[in-house]
Amino acid sequence: MTTAGPGRPRKQQPSRPGATAREEILDAAAELFTTQGYATTSTRSIADAVGIRQSSLYHHFGTKDDILEVLLAGTVASGLAVARTICSGNDGERSPVAAAARLHAVALYDGTQLCNARWNVGVLYNLPEARSARFHSFTEDRKELRGLYQRLGSELPGNGWTSRSQNGDLAFRLVESLVSLRADGLTTPDSPRQAADAGIVLSGMADSLAAIKTHSAALVARMTS
């Protein structure tokens, strides 16, 4: 028997990714919440999946809701940080192509995070629990992220059938649709790029897509280097 910390015996050798017991708990919870359901998953089953005692889990998280809160926050945290940086940046380019590239870059990065996460935690967005006041912080972060998409979309020229704010909202919805596609086993490594591309095409800038993607790729590279 190994230990998960002072006085907290572990039932078995760790078998989950994570440098700490807290990270292993989050990984186990993400798997169980997304494969077995949130309501039917108990803290005991999460502890068993990690190989620790239930009392040890409570050393890190007081309730199951506390675990869900951290998992939900993690689905928007990095995308929101990148969107904030891109929206606050001043690269000196104000052309329609540059504006579209900023929207494309946010959508591409955000979609990649949703598709490449170990577990498809985005499916938990529609839980009744996730809409309660208990998860106000996550709701506000997601609302801010959507607002930044809308702000970026408003910088694109109108196309006659969608408003400028709708351009950004459409891109946001296309990215979040990747969650459902992934749940159905329909995503591929190209899915985030396809969603980002679709947002640009539907905004009326298909003719400039190649140039937009070049600018977007450089922007994402700078954000992640």
Q: What is the CATH number of the domain that holds 25?
A: 1.10.10.60
CATH number, domain containing residue 152: 1.10.357
Going by the DSSP 8-state scheme, the letter that residue 52 receives in this structure is B
Q: Which residues make Cβ contacts (< 8 Å) with residue 164, sequence separation at least 6?
A: 153, 154, 155, 156, 157, 158
Are residues 220 and 190 part of one domain?
Answer: yes
Write out the two tokens for 137: 């912080």
Residues 51, 4: Cα–Cα separation, whole Å: 9
Domain-embedded: residue 34: yes
Burial of 16 (0-12, 13-18, 19+ CB in 10 A): middle
3-state SS assignment for residue 185: coil
Are residues 175 and 102 part of one domain?
Answer: yes
Write out the two tokens for 149: 């998409």
Are residues 191 and 92 part of one domain?
Answer: yes
Q: Is 90 exceeded by the pLDDT of residue 3? A: no
Residues 220, 74: Cα–Cα separation, whole Å: 19
Are residues 71 and 53 part of one domain?
Answer: no
Domain-embedded: residue 126: yes
Between residues 17 and 106, which one has the greater pLDDT?
A: 106
Are residues 96 and 77 part of one domain?
Answer: yes
Q: Is 70 exceeded by the pLDDT of residue 10? A: no
pTM: 0.89
Q: How many CA atoms lie within 13 Å of 201's alpha carbon, on the beta-carbon side?
A: 8
Are residues 213 and 142 part of one domain?
Answer: yes
Mean pLDDT, to the nearest integer, of 120-139?
Answer: 94
Task: Identify the weakest region by mean pLDDT among 127-131, 146-150, 159-163, 212-216.
Answer: 159-163
Q: Which residues make Cβ contacts (< 8 Å) with residue 34, sequence separation at least 6?
A: 119, 120, 121, 123, 124
Domain count, the chain: 2
Q: Which residue intervals of the chain are DSSP H helices?
A: 21-35, 43-50, 54-60, 64-88, 96-116, 136-153, 164-183, 191-202, 209-224
Are residues 152 and 82 part of one domain?
Answer: yes
Domain-embedded: residue 1: no
Q: How does pLDDT run across 92-118, given as a tens digit for each residue?
A: 677 889 999 999 999 999 999 999 999
- The whole domain housing 37 covers 10-62
Percent of the chain with pLDDT over 90: 76
